[in-house]
A and B are shown apart, each in its own frame.
Chain A
Amino acid sequence: MSWITLGSIAGQPPDTGGYALSAYVILCGILAVYSLSLWIRIRKAGGSEP
């Protein structure tokens, strides 16, 4: 498959919601942990929280 169209077509879509939700949970987790680590670094270096 070299060309994919993401536009909607008629029919019943496959049930892949669990994969989408897992990806967004991982994504939010990575961003939350990184943001928290920056906040800790700022505190340790003597700055106040953003």
Chain B
Amino acid sequence: MSLKHACRVLWILALPANLIAMWMVFAYAPVEMQMGAVQKIFYYHVSSAISGYVMVFLAFCFSIAFIWKERRGWDILAHAAAEVGWIFLSIVIITGPVWGRAAWGKWWVWEPRLTTALILWFMYTAYVLLRSMAQDEERQAKMAAVLAIVAFFDVPIVNRAVAWWGSTVHPQRVGLSPEMKVTFVTSMGAVLLLASALFITRVWAGKLEAVKRDGEIEEKA
């Protein structure tokens, strides 16, 4: 299957899946009584966080493969995964404070999970900025690969932060009613499909741009 066809299939699955998930979030899942409707942010906030971690894990793996094999294909995959991961981490960093403001009266609290998650977001922001700078392409790709590998080690720290250091806002365990569980599982699947669709689309864009750049270099030569 070509990238174009994979892209089409994933978008055809991802769009209705997200429409169904959104309907479930707003119409099917019950309103939580302590926080009110703002708890509905949970479904896409947590799903985006998990999708972001999956993408940065892929960026970690592809970056190791690129450093080891030095093939441009691995770099295109790593760049795509890191960029899509950064988009989902940005969603987490933005939606979290909106939830926090309504539920706890504060936009931000300097507690372990939020702090380590912000550090992770800054590292992938550095990755995206590094890739957008015009300089020696090969050197830039190697530097970015090292950054993606180092940055990934923050993911297990973010995940274990509440268990290791405690938290004033994040629970260690979350109890959900059956309707909430079904909505969360549906949202998780829909967001993972969307992340996959964005990743494959980004890989396709990266490959097309690489082919175009090579053509321009050959023309100049």
Contact = CB atoms under 8 A, between A and B. Distances in A.
A25 B133 CA distance: 31
Interface in B61-119: 87, 90-91, 94-95, 98-99, 101-104
B32 A19 contact: no
Contacts of A46: 208, 211-212
A6 to B, nearest CB: 5
Interface size class of B (residues with CB under 8 A): 35 or more
Contact of A6 (B32, B204, B205): B32
B33 A11 contact: yes
Nearest to A48: B4
**Which secondary structure dominates where chain B touches chain A?**
helix
A10 B33 contact: yes
Contacts, number: 140
B22 A24 contact: yes
A38 B203 CA distance: 10
Contact of A42 (B99, B166, B204): B204
A28 to B, nearest CB: 9
Interface string A1-23: 11111111111111111011011
Interface of A: 1-17, 19-20, 22-24, 26-27, 30-31, 34-35, 38-39, 41-42, 45-48, 50
Interface of B: 4, 7-8, 11, 22, 25, 30-42, 44-45, 48, 87, 90-91, 94-95, 98-99, 101-104, 166-169, 171-177, 180, 194, 198, 201-202, 204-205, 208-209, 211-212
